[in-house]
Structure 1
Amino acid sequence: QKKYVISRRNGYHGSTIAGATLGGMGYMHEQMPSKVEHIVHIDQPYFFGEAQAGETPEAFGLARAQQLEAKILELGAENVAAFIGEPFQGAGGVIFPPSTYWPEIQRICRKYDILLVADEVIGGFGRIGEWFAHQHFGFEPDLITMAKGLTSGYVPMGAVGIHERVARPIIDNGEFNHGLTYSGHPVAAAVAVANLKLLRDEGIVARVKTDTGPYFQALMRETFARHPIVGEVHGAGLVASLQLARDPGKRERFANGGDVGTICRDFCFNGNLIMRATGDRMLLSPPLVISRQEIDELVSKAKQAVDATAQQLGLS
């Protein structure tokens, strides 16, 4: 009976029919010939772009989380299987929710006996200084999807982590009739084990948490604190985003934000820096082994590109 899965607008969970339906990317939905049934969406916790004037981040985070409860009650709790979300939105713009968001999401899921699924494909394995991003935000999911950092991209591999409270009923009640041709492939598994040992034994995740991550975040905020076209800097560990804005103080975005992001991205490329443009948000995700000296160079190049963008727009 529990058939519905609730996701979020502007979330990203892959590009297959099921994954893209689960995600909330409108441009992907427009190109799909069909969608998977029983997947519904609520609004994302994007404070800069969607909060009301005078609304605090804390109040906004609670309000967006409480949309989940409203949707559950609309559908009937007996019909809802799960809620899925990225701890921080990756492809959607490296959007970090207010601190009130995830604790309230977890409370609601527990209240209505709904599985809480964390998509850790981007956030997992040290990206923000913890082994998993949900640890940074202080919640405990029932299931975790993971890939990317599991093997550091050297070979393809994805996995799902299942909490004991979910796995035990499956184990006790017989077979789980599901599998893939390359499930548990020994080459991928060997690479994953070797990769995880390196991340642990060489202190790479620990260094992101205590050294390079805080250094990168502090330098980004210091560099762009009063920039004429930067509305906010989001991030933790070694991932960050810059919100481009016409009037940062009023949270006024550019009407043609995607074009402005493309301008900035092109200036980055011309300066030998890869900084992704997602609409009017610029994204940085350097290697976990980056040094402080390399961070200095990266942030300097990012500032040069944003400065050039502001100058071209006549807002410098």
Structure 2
Amino acid sequence: MNKARDWDQLERWDRSYYLHSTQAAAEHVYTAVESMDGNYFTLADGTRMLDFQSQLISDSMGHRHPAIHAELTRAMERYGHVQFGMAHEYRARAAKLIIEDVIGANSWAGRVRVFSSGTDAVECATNMARLYTGRSVILTQAHSFHGMVMGSTMMRGYRNNLTPDADRNTVRDVPGFPPHGYIPIPPPEPEDHAANGTLPSIVATEQIIQAIGPENIAGVITEPMLGGGGTFPHSAYMPALVGLARKYGFLWIDDEVITGFGRLGEWFGYQCWPGLTPDILAGGKGVNSCALPVGVVIASKQIADLFEKARWWSGSTWDGHPLVCATIVGNLEYMLANNIIQQVRQRGAYLKERLDALKPKHPSIGRISGRGLFQVIDLVNDKGTPIVPEDRFSAFTGDLGAHPNVIVYQETAKRGVYLGGFTPNTLKLGPPFTVTQDDIDLAVDALDAALDVVEAKYHKGAAKPH
């Protein structure tokens, strides 16, 4: 225990004054972190934990990466905050790196804007789609996750409206504002779905489009791999869904806050489907390894041109913050110079190999899927069905401690590994890109033991955990 800090006092202050999320006060578990370094973090009691979830599938280059922090240190010698109406070195360098070096100067991407969170980026992307098309409806996949806000302001003149280049005497509000229209479409089928013709989700989605009227739809927002629900879609799903967007004339908004900048073994998840390019991309997390709060929006050349020529009344105090942009520069320059994408592929292949070897041993493993360093395990009972019947439709009510993902989290933590999931039956394995084979072995061995505990509870006749 660190004697320099009174963690008991800090816990009292935290419990008394901080407004917490997800856990009710009576069930709040105080987990104090003393320090973070590389692929590990150390708790207040001295316990060292392998971070096999990169916190929230976010800290992709590990914690306090020297290249990122070195650039941040250099930036702090010159900059504090620069409001978004002014320019600075790091904004230009970050934009050039993303558009020219990562995506490619001759590719689809036109311009990028830097925000302070992935939620901000998604909010901006959906507003851009509405303004560009003049329509209000956004289609969103069931089980997807895009942030936790419902719109930031209702004041005319300060609510993301647009004065077009063609007529400086007019103003265009975001269509449907207020309120916004978000309409769910079915989730994608998993990649092991036995397809026979057009996927059922695509058939149902087209019926929804026809019922709404495509003339009312601004865009569809998708995740290449669902971050919250943890589903990697069937190979036919994304081309078919984007095909509907092209057929009916609305935009494809690609939410890559979790998958973007290397997580799936490509710079972006959409590249898992050659030939597909989004109209608008929302990113975050991996663009600077979450060294500071960050989000980005990347618009196609055509869309970016319209907004760049217009008076676009949008933005927040932190947009393009020099210190945030410096961490983007440090992160991307290091990734490019050291071929980190190839490293993700290699480490991801080894992780998948180790997980596949567990499946014959553990009847609780129903499915293993994913790409790169984002692998997901779906857990089942002795009948082969989800242990918690609501599965990805769970409202997180009742005794959460009985959920298999919570059991795995508790059991792996006993073995020095931070590993769990979000929805009840789903485990999400998303270690940093800097993970080693020894780290992977430690995590999979801990998971092996944790699954014994799950099976002792939910599988009749299963061997008792060792």
Q: Which range, TM-score by smaller chain?
A: 0.7 to 0.9
Q: Deviations over 1:210-238 (max 9, x none)?
A: x1111111221122245211101111111
Indicate if the aligned counterparts of 1:232 and 1:242 stay in contact, CA closer than 8 A.
yes
Give the Cα–Cα distance (whole angstroms) in 1 for the partners of residues 231 and 247 of structure 2. Answer: 26
Indicate if the aligned counterparts of 1:127 and 1:238 stay in contact, CA closer than 8 A.
yes
Indicate if the aligned counterparts of 1:241 and 1:281 stay in contact, CA closer than 8 A.
yes
Indicate if the aligned counterparts of 2:139 and 2:221 stay in contact, CA closer than 8 A.
yes
* Structure 1, unpaired ranges of 5+: 20-34, 49-54
Question: Match of 1:301?
Answer: 446
Secondary structure of residue in 2 paired with 1:216 = helix
Q: Which amino acid aligns with 2:356?
A: R
Change (3 A) 1:90 1:82: same
Q: Give the Å deviation of 1:109.
A: 0.6
Give the Cα–Cα distance (whole angstroms) in 2 for the partners of residues 243 and 220 of structure 1. Answer: 12
Q: Give the Å deviation of 1:36.
A: 4.6
Change (3 A) 1:251 1:111: farther
Question: Match of 1:167?
Answer: 304
Q: Percent identity?
A: 27
* 1:279 aligned onto 2:279: no
Give the Cα–Cα distance (whole angstroms) in 2 for the partners of residues 293 and 61 of structure 1. Answer: 43
Give the Cα–Cα distance (whole angstroms) in 2 for the partners of residues 167 and 281 of structure 1. Answer: 38
Give the Cα–Cα distance (whole angstroms) in 1 for the partners of residues 185 and 197 of structure 2. Answer: 14
TM-score, length-normalised on structure 2? Answer: 0.59
Equivalent runs, 1:226-245 vs 2, <5 Å: 226-245=361-380
| Pick aligned residue for 2:180 from 29, 37, 44 | 37
Q: Which amino acid aligns with 1:264?
A: V
Give the Cα–Cα distance (whole angstroms) in 2 for the partners of residues 125 and 201 of structure 1. Answer: 14
TM-score, length-normalised on structure 1? Answer: 0.85
Q: Give the Å deviation of 1:104.
A: 0.2
Secondary structure of residue in 1 paired with 2:418 = coil
Give the Cα–Cα distance (whole angstroms) in 1 for the partners of residues 361 and 195 of structure 2. Answer: 23
Secondary structure of residue in 1 paired with 2:199 = helix
Q: Deviations over 1:230-284 (max 9, x none)?
A: 101111111111111014xx64122466623322222122222211232111111
Indicate if the aligned counterparts of 1:12 and 1:90 stay in contact, CA closer than 8 A.
yes
CA RMSD of aligned residues (A): 2.2
Give the Cα–Cα distance (whole angstroms) in 2 for the partners of residues 202 and 70 of structure 1. Answer: 47
Indicate if the aligned counterparts of 2:348 and 2:371 stay in contact, CA closer than 8 A.
yes
* 1:254 aligned onto 2:387: yes
Indicate if the aligned counterparts of 1:234 and 1:241 stay in contact, CA closer than 8 A.
yes
* Structure 2, unpaired ranges of 5+: 1-133, 153-177, 392-399
Equivalent runs, 1:39-188 vs 2, <5 Å: 39-47=182-190, 56-59=193-196, 62-92=199-229, 94-138=230-274, 139-172=276-309, 174-188=310-324
Change (3 A) 1:227 1:36: farther
Give the Cα–Cα distance (whole angstroms) in 1 for the partners of residues 388 and 285 of structure 2. Answer: 34
Of structures 1 and 2, the larger Rg is shown by 2
| Pick aligned residue for 1:218 from 346, 350, 353 | 353
Secondary structure of residue in 1 paired with 2:312 = coil
Change (3 A) 1:101 1:265: same
Which has the bigger relative contact order, CA under 8 A and spacing at least 6?
2
Q: Give the Å deviation of 1:89.
A: 0.5
Indicate if the aligned counterparts of 1:61 and 1:98 stay in contact, CA closer than 8 A.
no
Indicate if the aligned counterparts of 1:265 and 1:275 stay in contact, CA closer than 8 A.
yes
May I ask how many residue pairs the two structures share in their alignment?
290
Q: Deviations over 1:125-156 (max 9, x none)?
A: 11111111111133311111111011111111
Question: Match of 1:292?
Answer: 437
Give the Cα–Cα distance (whole angstroms) in 2 for the partners of residues 287 and 15 of structure 1. Answer: 25
Secondary structure of residue in 2 paired with 1:58 = coil
Secondary structure of residue in 2 paired with 1:57 = coil
Give the Cα–Cα distance (whole angstroms) in 2 for the partners of residues 11 and 223 of structure 1. Answer: 28
Give the Cα–Cα distance (whole angstroms) in 2 for the partners of residues 77 and 10 of structure 1. Answer: 23
Give the Cα–Cα distance (whole angstroms) in 1 for the partners of residues 185 and 138 of structure 2. Answer: 11
Q: Which amino acid aligns with 1:231?
A: G
Q: Deviations over 1:27-58 (max 9, x none)?
A: xxxxxxxx95311101111449xxxxxx9433
